[in-house]
Structure 1
Amino acid sequence: MLSGDRTESRADAHGALQNQLAETIEKRTAGEDDRGTAIANLTFFRREKQAGPTPCLIEPSIVFVAQGAKQLLIGEQAYTYDTERFLIASLDLPGSSQVLEGSPEKPCLGLALRLDLRVISELVAHVRLPAPRERVCDSSAALGTITPALMVPFARLLALLDQPDEIEVLAPLIEREIHFRLLKSDVAGRLLQIASVGSQGHRIARAIDWMKVNYARQLSIEELANYVQMSASSLHHHFRQLTAMSPLQYQKWMRLNEARRLMLNENQDAAAAAFNVGYESPSQFSREYSRLFGAPPKRDIGTLRERAGSAGGRVTANA
């Protein structure tokens, strides 16, 4: 076979896999923005119009677009991902997501698979991949190239949704293969830096895990730095490098998003939600909430409930 023929054959195979993923997601997201699946770590998204930046939290995950295009904004960095490039986040990242290409006739369709950094660490040890050189990384998000080697296990993972009795046994195996493929891809260095015990990235990941449990407490940078065995100045520097926020800004972001969840899903009023996430002043909470979400708590929650009602389900923020 001539080289031109081989290239065309690979392109055809790539397109066929993309279409297969898009058809599965479109079928399972009709009338919804975001849809969980019977595979616990896998979610689908559908956007039928272009939209400006919307605040969101990106979990450690890989995000694939099977049709259309999206963009994630983290600080001053913009990551555009589409049918050729995927997005990967190795930490819980606050950001803003926007739809660049999507319409009712041809919606933006995609999936997000939550990553397990413990699996990555195990794989690194098992296959003896070289540890990354210690260096400062400018972000914990990155773009990678979509390849057939990565798309094939995703196609098999989605096919399990039609075989629910096989999910419990086979899904973890396929997810593990996807983690392995990522370690062989062009984003391997980013994952290695976070998963390698003792690296600065790994310490920041531990700091974020601690903050997720203790977000309602008054934050002591010295205490957090001691917990992850860093100096306060090093913690602050590397934290901002990886998340585009200081630890205090990150805590505020977590508090406001948890308060939003409490009001939306547990019907708490603004004062109760503010108190439960660590605010002492309802007026300060309202000011900071409006600054982040663009509207005061009562109006923002009302808008979200209207959207949920028109979409026939709960509205969530997804990369």
Structure 2
Amino acid sequence: MREIQQTAGSSAAAMELIALAKRHAVHPPDAEGLSFTRTEGIELVKAEAPSGHIRTIYRPLICLVLQGEKEVLSGDTLLRFGAGQSLMVNVDVPVTGRVVTASRHAPYLAVAIELDAARLREVMGQMEAAPASPGDLPTRILVEKTDGALLDCALRLVRLLDHPQALAVLRAPILQEMHYWLLAGRHGGAMRRLAMPDGHTARIARAVAVLRADYARPMRVEELAAAAGMSPSSFHQHFKAVTTLSPLQFQKQLRLLEARRLLLAEGRAVSHSAFAVGYESASQFSRDYARMFGAPPRRDLGIGRAVA
């Protein structure tokens, strides 16, 4: 396993963003101890204590860490990063993450914004830089020092949370600017690959969108390959190269993650959660769940009901 250690930093803009994030991150913590406040495509994340390991599947996004530290494991790469740094995710990818530095006095705080392939294409069409080769595979996930222009965009977006009418008008151009700086930055090639409609990354993203929208339904590889515009054999190869999982493994993780949400956030019965996400056998669901999360679903059901 390769570990990449990243150092923390701060700035006047970041300190203002911290104050705004603390004020707007008002949702109570979930069973994992994390608070998520989502408004108009802006997600504020807060934790007042270190968390356990959390499994999830990231969408393409940029996450600016304002305070505290976090670890994310993707494949064989462990990234540790903190204030003054940004996590960039260029594809839908499964990860295991945990907050490692946080307290009530100095909570972990981050601002996350999903990347929009259509917006990237629009901005890219106005740029002179040559597009990346559609055949290149993306850098799935990386950490960099937060660029000043990106921090400025995030600050202006979060400021607008105090002005809902202005947010409705000004959000889109600020996001457009943020996507420009991502394309113009040192990892612009990876961002351009996400936007190239005929590239492998964009093709796989179309299949992932089908899986995310209808994960509970049994799907054949041929159906997903058709959505990606690939032959089944080529699709299977490129899907795993981009996401690190086979299509069926990816679908299984989507099902189990949603089932865990139902157990923890809504207190649904184990059998109800299993059938709701597409399992036909509650016992098979329990085995798969324990394999992924390290404990049977009844444990998380108990945690969810205790928190509620």
| TM-score of the aligned structures, taking structure 2 as reference length | 0.87
The one of 19, 22, 29 aligned to 1:23: 19
Alignment of 1:263-278 (within 5 A): 263-278=263-278
Report the equivalent of 1:140: 140
Gap regions ≥5 residues in structure 2:
1-8
Report the equivalent of 2:306: 306
Q: 1:52 to 1:186 in 2, by over 3 A?
A: farther
- Higher RCO, Cα 8 Å, sep 6+: 1
- The answer to whether the 8 A contact 2:36-2:45 is kept is yes
Report the equivalent of 1:180: 180
Counterpart AA for 1:257:
L
Counterpart AA for 2:25:
T
Report the equivalent of 2:155: 155
Aligned mates of 1:74, 1:148 — CA distance in 2: 26
Kindly state the Cα deviation for residue 103 of structure 1 after the two structures are TM-superposed.
2.1
C-alpha RMSD of the superposition: 2.2
Worse-superposed segment, 103-112 or 192-201: 103-112
Report the equivalent of 1:226: 226
Aligned mates of 2:238, 2:282 — CA distance in 1: 32
Gap regions ≥5 residues in structure 1:
1-11, 310-319
Paired residue secondary structure (1:268): coil
Worse-superposed segment, 88-97 or 137-146: 137-146
- The answer to whether the 8 A contact 2:269-2:301 is kept is no
| 2:240 is the counterpart of 1:240 | yes
- The answer to whether the 8 A contact 2:204-2:239 is kept is yes
Aligned mates of 1:222, 1:290 — CA distance in 2: 30
Paired residue secondary structure (1:51): coil
Kindly state the Cα deviation for residue 104 of structure 1 after the two structures are TM-superposed.
2.4
Aligned mates of 1:234, 1:84 — CA distance in 2: 40
Aligned mates of 1:51, 1:259 — CA distance in 2: 20
Alignment of 1:1-319 (within 5 A): 15-29=11-25, 32=29, 33-37=34-38, 39-137=39-137, 139-307=139-307, 309=308
Kindly state the Cα deviation for residue 128 of structure 1 after the two structures are TM-superposed.
4.0
Kindly state the Cα deviation for residue 187 of structure 1 after the two structures are TM-superposed.
2.4
Counting aligned pairs with the same residue, the percent is 33
Kindly state the Cα deviation for residue 124 of structure 1 after the two structures are TM-superposed.
0.9
Worse-superposed segment, 259-268 or 17-26: 259-268
| TM-score of the aligned structures, taking structure 1 as reference length | 0.85
Kindly state the Cα deviation for residue 267 of structure 1 after the two structures are TM-superposed.
4.7
Paired residue secondary structure (1:57): strand
Aligned mates of 1:286, 1:138 — CA distance in 2: 34
